[in-house]
Homo-oligomer: A and B are copies of this chain.
């Protein structure tokens, strides 16, 4: 097997095959039943090739999801900014709610959540590599709204994002209520009331 003394010399083809195999297997049999062995067999590589680059099944699957996300290296994601904060946020939240109501999308994300809540290292990786760039894009939109006087200038934007997204996250994760466009709108309405300038 070839040596990879430097991350820059990783075989991109093998890497992509491994990530694709991980995504396929999670979709086909569910996260719990996926093994490093099965990913290696599907990707046509040796198990050691996977362990050279990733320390666990969770880490491979996480990278497989990351490769799918809209976040590009160094950012590159932005929320709509028409100047109408309510309309922009309702558009975004309706789309987000629809994603979480879609079994194709939510299944793998549910599997990922199971991993990160029990693995602090993976959770930190998730925050740094996936959540932080997305949150940064959301905060950029809120900063624009602050400049426009639409939300309080002194608002804590991390807390503001939790207020907007955590209710949806909890309702989805615990399957405790319907995920509808009306729900998305109601969340945005409460968010805007909480954050409005005094």
Contacts and interface: CB of A to CB of B under 8 A. Distances in A.
Given A159-B186, A169-B166, A170-B166, A175 B114 contact: no
B127 A174 contact: yes
Q: How many copies does the complex hold?
A: 2
B174 A117 contact: yes
Contacts of A113: 117, 173
Interface string A104-127: 000000100110111010011011
B131 A176 contact: yes
Contacts of A159: 167, 183, 186-187, 190
Classify the secondary structure of A's interface with B.
helix
Nearest to A155: B190
Contact of A123 (B116, B127, B175, B191): B175
Interface residues of A, number: 39
A194 B117 CA distance: 29
A171 B162 contact: yes
A126 to B, nearest CB: 7
A156 interface: yes
A158 B131 contact: no
